[in-house]
Structure 1
Amino acid sequence: MSEPNWTVLVPVEVLAGETIPESVVDVLTTLPVVVLGYHVLPEQTPPGQARLQFETQAQTKLGELAAAFHEAGGIAETRLVFTHDEEQTLDRVADETGCDAILVPNPAPDVERLLVPLSGEVDASRVTEFVATLIGDRNIAVTLLHVADGEAETAAGRSLLSDAAAHLRESGVPAAAITSEVTVSESPIRTIATAAVDHHAVVMGESEPSLRSFLFGDASAQVAAQSVGPVVVVRRERDDGSAGG
């Protein structure tokens, strides 16, 4: 397995007035980011025509967003896309730039509590390695959460979280900052969304079938709607050994 670079894709509807909250910029300064400015066009509007009309305005806004990361001590590059398909664009640019994670934007307070839901469907070691890198040496508490379908799965869930907590400690996260919780529920996404209310941000692993279905399906909608902060999706490692491909 190749060593991930943990670049985060930060999508912004650049001509719709979207911005990146200062607290989100601050929490991502430990990782390089790609700020993707995109604008969804009506089907009949050619992207080239929109670029001629709006590129200068969009690039100016992107430059301001990248500058916010640079001023906070982070690393940021930018991409600008005019598209008819938002979902396809996020997937494609994440692949092209080798991004290992993607931000689901949300307003955010200062991030002091991080929720990390884990299940057997995601690469827990990859997610916890990302979390440790994201935290760095900052004082951020982590709640590891496993939602089991029934009592029979709770033992496996405890084992999963025990391994994840050990990985975090080995990566430098203080043991006192880590809490583990196993709960039983027939509605795991709803349970995660409810838990997100008490946390400032959520880091989730990408599960099948695709990042696209997570970002635009019921899972992300429920979690992001309940979370007071952003949701970061850690992408599965691709067959070519990178996040993209």
Structure 2
Amino acid sequence: MSHRVLVPLELPDADSVPAALAKSITSMEVVLLGHYGLPEQTPPSAARDQFGDDARAELTTLAESFEDAEASVTTRVVFGKARDKTINRVAVEEECDVILTSGDADEITQVLVPIRGERNFDRILSFSEELLTATEATVTLFHMGEDSDQIPGEEILSDATDQLIQAGIDSDRITQRLSEDDDTTQTIIDLAESFDALILGETEPSLRDQILGNVPAQVTIDTDNPAFVVRDAEEA
């Protein structure tokens, strides 16, 4: 499966994507989205006329880290007020199956992959395999310990490990971790401190997620790590 990664950046004065992070996805197609946030009273058309040239020039400069790594990059600037809705809309329009929240990354040597259940399972592992191949990083497959989709957590981790090995990832690079802590989100955030990047699956929210907030969204807000959110196959 070929992956297409959306990288949203907030204009103006966006932080550049670290070279190690850009290099990790050079085998994939990259869409660099410059979202230019606007006050409620500012029409997007007026902002485009006033700031459009500067925004496009800034995004072109930000794309250089990907071009230097010989990645295939498409750039797109959007002026608007609803950032999250814009990201989701552009991901659909550009047919991106992964969304990258950039973060601090001098190198990508250890990757954390929380796995919830069968939903989106193959797509998460397909992306993980491609990232691991590009970086030669080690990976920790993590499950919270509760049964998902009536499948024990141990079996989910075992199946994930087998799939990565079949894809060519050396078993010595794969670690499994099973936890029974009650707070899924906080556990992942705490674990993330020991890793360089996370791969999170976008899944249909449970009732708990709907009340307390979606896990991938909370994790990307509360950690400085780069996070790749693999979109749900039924939504992408």
| TM value normalised by structure 1 | 0.86
1:9 equivalent in structure 2: 6
Measure the CA separation in 2 of the matches of 1:163 and 1:204. 17
Q: How does 1:183-202 map to 2 (within 5 A)?
A: 183-202=179-198
Partner of 1:49: 46
SS of 1:76 mapped into structure 2: strand
Pick aligned residue for 1:170 from 153, 166, 181: 166
Partner of 2:70: 73
**In the alignment, structure 1 residue 133 sits paired with structure 2 residue 103:** no
1:102 aligns with 99
Question: Structure 1 157/193 Cα, relative in aligned 2: closer, same or farther at 3 Å?
Answer: same
Candidates 215, 228, 231, aligned match of 1:232: 228
Q: Distance in 1 between matches of 2:183 and 2:24?
A: 30
Task: Measure how far apart 1:172 and its partner are.
Answer: 1.3
Conserved? CA contact 2:181–2:187, under 8 Å: yes
| Structure 1 residue ranges without an equivalent (≥5) | none
* Other structure's SS at 2:144 match: strand
Task: Could you tell me which runs of 5 or more consecutive residues in structure 2 were left unpaired when the two chains were aligned.
Answer: none
Residues 187 and 109 of structure 1: CA distance in aligned 2, closer, same or farther (over 3 Å): same
Q: CA deviation at 1:233?
A: 0.4
Contact 2:18 2:65 in 1 (8 A): no
Q: Say if 1:200 and 1:227, in contact at 8 Å, map to a contact too.
A: no
Give the drift of 1:222: 4.6
Residues 6, 13 of structure 1: CA spacing in aligned structure 2 closer, same or farther, 3 A cutoff? same
1:115: which partner in 2?
112
Per the TM alignment, residue 22 of structure 1 is displaced from its structure 2 partner at its CA by 1.7
What RMSD, in angstroms, separates the aligned Cα atoms of the two structures? 2.5
| One-letter code aligned to 1:193 | I
1:79-98 matches, cutoff 5 A? 79-98=76-95
Kindly tell me the number of residue pairs found equivalent between the two proteins: 232
Q: CA deviation at 1:88?
A: 0.8
Q: Give 1:157 shift.
A: 0.6
1:5/1:155 Cα in 2 relative to 1: closer, same or farther (>3 Å)? Answer: closer
The offset of 1:223, in angstroms, is: 2.5
Using the size of structure 2 for normalisation, the TM-score is 0.90
Equivalent residue, structure 2, for 1:156 = 152
SS of aligned partner of 1:116:
strand
Equivalent of 1:142 in 130, 139, 147: 139
Measure the CA separation in 2 of the matches of 1:26 and 1:99: 18
Matched, 1:40 2:46: no
Deviation, 1:52, is 0.7
Find the aligned partners of 1:88 and 1:97 in 2 and give their Cα distance. Answer: 14
Q: Determine what percentage of the aligned residue pairs are the same residue.
A: 35
Distance 1:161 1:149, change over 3 A: closer
Question: Deviation of residue 137 (structure 1)?
Answer: 4.8
Counterpart contact for 2:216–2:229, Cα < 8 Å: no
Is the contact between residue 31 and residue 134 of structure 1 (CA under 8 Å) also seen in structure 2?
no
**Offset, 1:198:** 0.6
**Contact 1:142-1:178 within 8 A present in 2 as well:** yes
C-alpha contact (below 8 Å) 2:144/2:180 kept by paired residues: yes
Query: Match for 2:52: what amino acid?
Result: E
SS, match of residue 99 in structure 2: strand
Kept in 1: contact 2:198–2:227 (CA 8 A): yes
CA distance in 2, matches of 1:121, 1:153: 7
Cα displacement string for residues 145-195 of structure 1 (whole angstroms, at most 9, x for unaligned residues): 000248x99981110011001111111111110001111111111111111
